[in-house]
A and B are shown apart, each in its own frame.
Chain A
Amino acid sequence: MKITRALSDFAWAVRLSFMFFRFQWSIRATFKTGIIISFVNSVLGLLSWFFIGNMFRTVSVASLENYDQNYLAYVMVGSFIGTVFGAGGFFNPSGFFQRDIFGPDFKRWSMSPTDPMLYNLVANRILNFVGYTITSIVIQFVVIFGIFGMYLNIDFNIRFSMMPVVIPYLFYCAIAQIFYETLMSSVFLHSYALRAVNQNVLAGLLNSINHIVSGRIFPIEVLPRLLRNFTWIFPQAQGIIGARMLFSPRPESLMAFWPRFIAATIQLMVYGGLGIWLVDKGIEKVRREGLVQVPPA
């Protein structure tokens, strides 16, 4: 009975997500110049990393061995992998509840049988992921490996043949990332102060750490030992570091990949269970207190 209901709820949530996605897309599609501008902007964003990377063309760090000590190739690959996590709107834990849960729609949600958490956490995120992330991956792939690689002669020295394994692994880590975001968002529900100032400062702090230790920009060897330990708590770090290991032509890298995979699996379970439980409790709490909508300070 419960399973049937859950499946039915999920189906309605997906349907609603499709509706939002279709309507949003139809609105965005009218702004055709905007699509071109987004594309150009994406290239310019990469270009800034290109210039930074170009300053350090030859750096002696163990992680860069796969890239012939070429930091530019390292940062370009990191940027490509990071797109999987960034484009789907996963990096906005503080905005998640402000926008979706504490808006006036929350009261409307509460009076309908559709579970707002199911819609937001699963259906809407998956559709965002499929819709926007895949588009971004294609754009980035073309720009990085096509334009930069071909015309600027960057030697990536990675196993492109591993792409069919890397992409599913990144998606797997991205789901863990969704749950990590859920856990971070739950803090917002449990802290009146955070809701009042309308800013999830804790999530902001962790995001800054995540940015440093994710392996997207800095090879982890250059980090202090203390910060290196943080690479084990962020799903994005498992994704980027693990994917780099899969891309690596060295056989020993594959062995080093498995601990990252296990860490991602543990995070998926722990963050998922704890996050959903705490969000449920948090929503129950704000409803009980009647503080569903806290006027921002």
Chain B
Amino acid sequence: MKALELENVSKSYKIVRKLPDKQENQLLGLRNLTKFFLGETFSIIGTRTVTSITALDSVSFSVEPGQVVGLFGKNGSGKTTMLSILGGIFPQDSGTVHCFGYDYSTDLYQVRKYVVPIFGWLDAVTWAFTGRQNIEKFMIMHHVPPRQIVDQIDQLAKEIDIYDRLDDRVARYSQGMRVKIQVMAAILLYRVRGRSLLLLDEPFIGLDVFVQRYLRDFVKYKMRRDNFAMLLATHQPEDIEEICDEVVVIDQGRIIAKDSVDNLRRMVKKAENIKIKYIPPNHKPLPKDLFQRRGILEHKSLERGGYIELDLIVDDSRDTLAWLVSEMVKTGCGITSLNTHVMKFEDVLIRIIEGNEETGK
């Protein structure tokens, strides 16, 4: 005799709020996002001329749950503007943004409950308060009772090496220590939130290498979960390469590439790097026209103590290398070292942006 037997038992619950169908698989969705800013010039006679600057031009992309997306672009390309819009600082001029099914135009209040910002440039700590008090302030601003995180503060402070100064006034902190407090607050907020949109804009500014490593590992290994999305804007391509699932490359307010790190590498066809150190014949460098043939895309040379260091970017190192070495030997060069490697991700990103600018011209 069975004490309890269940067969085909089912139970359904009513869902109070259903996400709109088209955003169901997207945690964050931007569609034709456009933003203009006012540019201004002043004259000595007191006139002000205002011009409109397009900061973002019809930007569209989406972020799936659990995904980390990197933003890369030159200064003024629109990365911070995009993160500021997503953080709720600025409204967009046109286009739509959805986060967790909420529309930024109508439900910004709800969205702000999920935003966790780490903006390295935003020195928004209260200097009169201690580090601990600033964290408490941050929690209350985000409608989180400080008692929820009070047990975790000391442990986290020890991990990022600010425990000894946590009860000191922020006015006596260094720039890096102030960023640490903001990072701590964001991590604690992230821990108590059920779901979150993490916005990181130059989060490593001013941080020492140990904290940079900690934050990088935290983002890479501990922050990923289903109800989570992260956008990381940085000028450090190695961070993007290490942390991000996808990369959005922005130039002049427009998205010029969006793909995984591997696919972006493939986009920049066969780009490889050759470094050769040689002693030139008769102390004269090789003729420049030699480097305009056989798949050589770029060349740089540096004379150093009787040697010349040659740095080449080529289509295919296997094809170029054998030919180049034979040419150099023919001219009497003494090759002392030779290295080839796949192009750095930094070079890939730079070539994508430069390629876009050349196409634009």
Chain A residues with a Cβ under 8 A of chain B = 5, 8, 12, 15-16, 19-20, 23-24, 27, 104-105, 107-114, 192, 284, 287-292
With A19-B140, A110-B89 as contacts: A291 and B38 at CB distance below 8 Å = yes
With A111-B88, A287-B89, A290-B37 as contacts: A12 and B55 at CB distance below 8 Å = no
Inter-chain CA distance A110–B143, complex, in Å, is: 13
Taking a contact as CB atoms closer than 8 A, the residue among A8, A23, A108, A110 that contacts B128 in the complex is A23
Inter-chain CA distance A107–B89, complex, in Å, is: 6
Inter-chain CA distance A19–B128, complex, in Å, is: 12
Q: Are A114 and B55 in contact (CB under 8 A)?
A: no
Q: Are B143 and A111 in contact (CB under 8 A)?
A: no
Taking a contact as CB atoms closer than 8 A, the residue among B55, B123, B128, B143 that contacts A290 in the complex is B55
With A111-B115, A113-B109, A290-B55 as contacts: A24 and B122 at CB distance below 8 Å = no
Q: Are A23 and B122 in contact (CB under 8 A)?
A: no
Which residues of chain B have C-beta atoms less than 8 A from A20's C-beta? 137
Q: Are B141 and A16 in contact (CB under 8 A)?
A: yes
Inter-chain CA distance A109–B87, complex, in Å, is: 10
The binding surface of chain B is classed by DSSP as mixed
Which residues of chain B have C-beta atoms less than 8 A from A192's C-beta? 48
Which residues of chain B have C-beta atoms less than 8 A from A104's C-beta? 122-124
Q: Mark B118-154, 1 if CB is under 8 A from A, else 0.
A: 0100111010110001001110111100000000000
Closest chain-A Cβ to B229's Cβ sits at a distance in Å of 15
Inter-chain CB contacts under 8 Å: number? 78
Closest chain-B Cβ to A212's Cβ sits at a distance in Å of 31
* Residue B90 CB within 8 A of the other chain: yes
* Residue B213 CB within 8 A of the other chain: no
Inter-chain CA distance A225–B79, complex, in Å, is: 59
B255-294 interface (Cβ within 8 A of A): none
Which residues of chain B have C-beta atoms less than 8 A from A111's C-beta? 87-89, 112, 115, 117, 199
Q: Are A114 and B128 in contact (CB under 8 A)?
A: no
Q: Are B89 and A114 in contact (CB under 8 A)?
A: no
Inter-chain CA distance A291–B143, complex, in Å, is: 27
Taking a contact as CB atoms closer than 8 A, the residue among A5, A15, A107, A290 that contacts B124 in the complex is A107
Q: Are B55 and A110 in contact (CB under 8 A)?
A: no
Other CB < 8 Å A-B pairs besides A15-B140, A113-B109, 13 of them? A5-B109, A8-B143, A24-B128, A105-B124, A108-B124, A110-B89, A111-B88, A111-B89, A113-B113, A113-B143, A284-B91, A290-B81, A292-B89
Which residues of chain B have C-beta atoms less than 8 A from A15's C-beta? 140
Which residues of chain A have C-beta atoms less than 8 A from B48's C-beta? 192
Q: Are A27 and B128 in contact (CB under 8 A)?
A: yes
Closest chain-B Cβ to A1's Cβ sits at a distance in Å of 12
* Residue B161 CB within 8 A of the other chain: no
Residue of B nearest to A18 (CB): B140
Inter-chain CA distance A114–B124, complex, in Å, is: 15
Which residues of chain A have C-beta atoms less than 8 A from B112's C-beta? 111-113
Residue of B nearest to A15 (CB): B140
Q: Are A23 and B124 in contact (CB under 8 A)?
A: no
Inter-chain CA distance A23–B55, complex, in Å, is: 40
Closest chain-B Cβ to A204's Cβ sits at a distance in Å of 20
Residue of B nearest to A289 (CB): B38
* Residue B93 CB within 8 A of the other chain: yes
Q: Are B90 and A19 in contact (CB under 8 A)?
A: no
Inter-chain CA distance A6–B119, complex, in Å, is: 28
Closest chain-B Cβ to A288's Cβ sits at a distance in Å of 6
Q: Mark B61-87, 1 if CB is under 8 A from A, else 0.
A: 000000000000000000001001001
The binding surface of chain A is classed by DSSP as helix
Which residues of chain A have C-beta atoms less than 8 A from B136's C-beta? 19
Taking a contact as CB atoms closer than 8 A, the residue among A110, A113, A290, A292 that contacts B87 in the complex is A110
Q: Sort A-B residue pairs by CB-CB distance and give the 9 closest, nearest first.
A: A108-B124, A290-B37, A112-B141, A111-B87, A110-B89, A113-B112, A104-B124, A114-B141, A16-B140
Which residues of chain B have C-beta atoms less than 8 A from A287's C-beta? 89-91
Which residues of chain B have C-beta atoms less than 8 A from A292's C-beta? 89-90
Inter-chain CA distance A15–B145, complex, in Å, is: 10
Q: Which of A8, A107, A287, A292 has the most CB of B within 10 A?
A: A107
Inter-chain CA distance A203–B141, complex, in Å, is: 30
Which residues of chain B have C-beta atoms less than 8 A from A290's C-beta? 35, 37-38, 55, 81, 90
26 contacts between A and B (CB under 8 A): A8-B143, A12-B140, A19-B133, A19-B136, A19-B140, A24-B128, A27-B128, A104-B122, A104-B123, A105-B126, A107-B122, A108-B138, A111-B112, A112-B141, A112-B143, A113-B112, A113-B142, A114-B142, A114-B143, A192-B48, A287-B90, A287-B91, A290-B38, A290-B55, A290-B81, A292-B90
Closest chain-A Cβ to B250's Cβ sits at a distance in Å of 17
Which residues of chain A have C-beta atoms less than 8 A from B199's C-beta? 111
Closest chain-A Cβ to B51's Cβ sits at a distance in Å of 12
Inter-chain CA distance A110–B85, complex, in Å, is: 10
Inter-chain CA distance A15–B136, complex, in Å, is: 11
Residue of A nearest to B46 (CB): A193
Taking a contact as CB atoms closer than 8 A, the residue among A107, A114, A289 that contacts B37 in the complex is A289
Q: Are B137 and A16 in contact (CB under 8 A)?
A: yes
Closest chain-A Cβ to B179's Cβ sits at a distance in Å of 13
Which residues of chain B have C-beta atoms less than 8 A from A291's C-beta? 38
Which residues of chain B have C-beta atoms less than 8 A from A110's C-beta? 87-89
Inter-chain CA distance A104–B88, complex, in Å, is: 14
Which residues of chain B have C-beta atoms less than 8 A from A288's C-beta? 90-91, 93
Which residues of chain A have C-beta atoms less than 8 A from B128's C-beta? 23-24, 27
Inter-chain CA distance A110–B86, complex, in Å, is: 11
Closest chain-B Cβ to A33's Cβ sits at a distance in Å of 19
Closest chain-A Cβ to B275's Cβ sits at a distance in Å of 44
Q: Which of B38, B84, B89 has the most CB of A within 10 A?
A: B89
Which residues of chain B have C-beta atoms less than 8 A from A284's C-beta? 91
Residue of A nearest to B89 (CB): A110
Q: Mark B292-324, 1 if CB is under 8 A from A, else 0.
A: 000000000000000000000000000000000
Residue of B nearest to A24 (CB): B128
Closest chain-A Cβ to B31's Cβ sits at a distance in Å of 19
Q: Which of B35, B90, B119, B138 has the most CB of A within 10 A?
A: B90
